């Protein structure tokens, strides 16, 4: 996998990673899900995204088992593991405890990135202080936020130490382009990468509509690709976005990984814009 996104700390990460929402919830699927993660890593999807919220830690535990298996053939430094702290655990009394528990479930000594999952009641200044303290201690190598809109980012970057934020993870797919109105440009201006969750609208009401859209289908056939690969290639087209599609199937993981080789043409982009127009006004952050 050759497509990379360079973070402002100089670290390069794959433009396509592995999402793990709703993975690890069913013990009978564990072997299949671990194999899917390993397949993704071997295909170059070495960024793995999880959270303490996912299955009350079960996702982190499963990722930990997959990572342990991978260490038989690869090195820790080859992986970029991301987890998230819940808003009510983001205060100075609880954040470190949450981080350590995540590390224990993952079987790791440090996280490559730790995200503040969404805005809660803890003052943002305190959240930033906690994230920077974890970084200074070495428990996390970097940090970012999730589900922050433009005004939230503006507030964050006014806080001392807030400039250490490297990533904002938000929902973004072809059928949900609201962040293109101002958030993406603001993040580019401040060298904060976009991490795109649900890039295939997994679990969303329009997932089927995206894959079955005739324009998407025509583009897929023209490139001898699949609709899924078209949607992912579109998502990571600008070199500033890290997409983290979730899949518990090794076959689907391989399909996802191949999307980095798909180069959409200007005609493709124009057709997709006509079928799924970019926003013409400010829209609230989408969550499905």
pLDDT of residue 264: 97
pLDDT of residue 286: 85
Domains identified in the chain, total number:
1
Alpha-carbon span 31 to 54, nearest angstrom? 18
51 within a domain of the structure (yes/no): yes
What pLDDT, in 10s, does the model give residues 199-258?
A: 999 765 556 689 999 999 999 999 999 999 999 999 999 899 999 999 889 999 999 999
- List the CATH number of the domain containing 118: 3.20.20.100
Partners of residue 16 on adjacent β-strands: 243
Which residues form the domain of 270?
A: 4-275
What pLDDT, in 10s, does the model give residues 160-186?
A: 999 999 999 999 999 999 999 999 999
76 within a domain of the structure (yes/no): yes
Find out whether 50 and 79 touch, Cβ atoms under 8 Å: no
287 within a domain of the structure (yes/no): no
Is 1 a residue whose pLDDT tops 70? no
What is the average per-residue pLDDT within 84-107? 97
First to last CA, the chain: 28
Rounded to the nearest integer, the mean pLDDT of the chain is: 95
Catalytic positions, please?
A: 54
229 within a domain of the structure (yes/no): yes
165-171 β-sheet, strand order: 18-19, 47-49, 80-85, 113-116, 143-146, 165-171, 193-197, 241-244
Is residue 22 left, alpha or beta, with left meaning phi > 0 and alpha meaning psi from -120 to 50? left
Count of CB atoms situated within 10 Å of the CB of 204: 18
284 within a domain of the structure (yes/no): no
pLDDT > 90: what percent of the chain? Answer: 92
- What's the Cα-to-Cα distance from 90 to each of 50, 124, 251, rounded to whole Å? 16, 9, 37
286 within a domain of the structure (yes/no): no
Is 106 a residue whose pLDDT tops 90? yes
């Amino acid at each position: 996998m050759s497509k990379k996104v360079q973070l402002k700390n100089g670290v390069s990460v794959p433009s396509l990673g592995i999402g793990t929402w709703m993975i690890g919830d069913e013990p009978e699927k564990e072997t299949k899900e671990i194999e899917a993660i390993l397949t993704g890593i071997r295909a170059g999807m070495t960024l793995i995204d999880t959270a303490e919220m996912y299955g009350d830690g079960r996702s982190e535990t499963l990722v930990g088992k997959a990572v342990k298996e991978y260490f038989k053939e690869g090195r820790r430094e080859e992986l970029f593991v991301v987890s998230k702290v819940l808003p009510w655990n983001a205060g100075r009394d609880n954040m470190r405890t949450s981080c350590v528990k995540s590390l224990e479930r993952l079987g790791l000594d440090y996280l490559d990135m730790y995200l503040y999952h969404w805005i809660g009641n803890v003052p943002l200044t305190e959240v930033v202080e906690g994230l920077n303290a974890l970084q200074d201690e070495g428990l996390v190598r970097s940090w970012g936020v999730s589900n922050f809109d433009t005004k939230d980012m503006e507030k964050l970057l006014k806080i001392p130490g807030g400039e250490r934020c490297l990533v904002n993870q938000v929902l973004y797919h072809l059928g949900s382009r609201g962040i293109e109105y101002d958030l993406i440009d603001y993040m580019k201006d401040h060298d904060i990468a976009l991490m795109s969750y649900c890039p295939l609208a997994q679990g969303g009401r329009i997932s089927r509509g995206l894959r079955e859209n005739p324009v998407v289908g025509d583009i897929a056939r023209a490139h001898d690709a699949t609709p899924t690969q078209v949607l992912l290639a579109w998502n990571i087209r600008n070199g500033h976005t890290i997409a983290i599609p979730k899949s518990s199937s090794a076959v689907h993981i391989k399909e996802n990984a191949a999307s980095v080789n798909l180069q959409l043409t200007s005609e493709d982009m124009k057709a997709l814009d006509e079928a799924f127009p970019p926003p013409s006004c400010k829209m609230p952050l989408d969550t499905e």
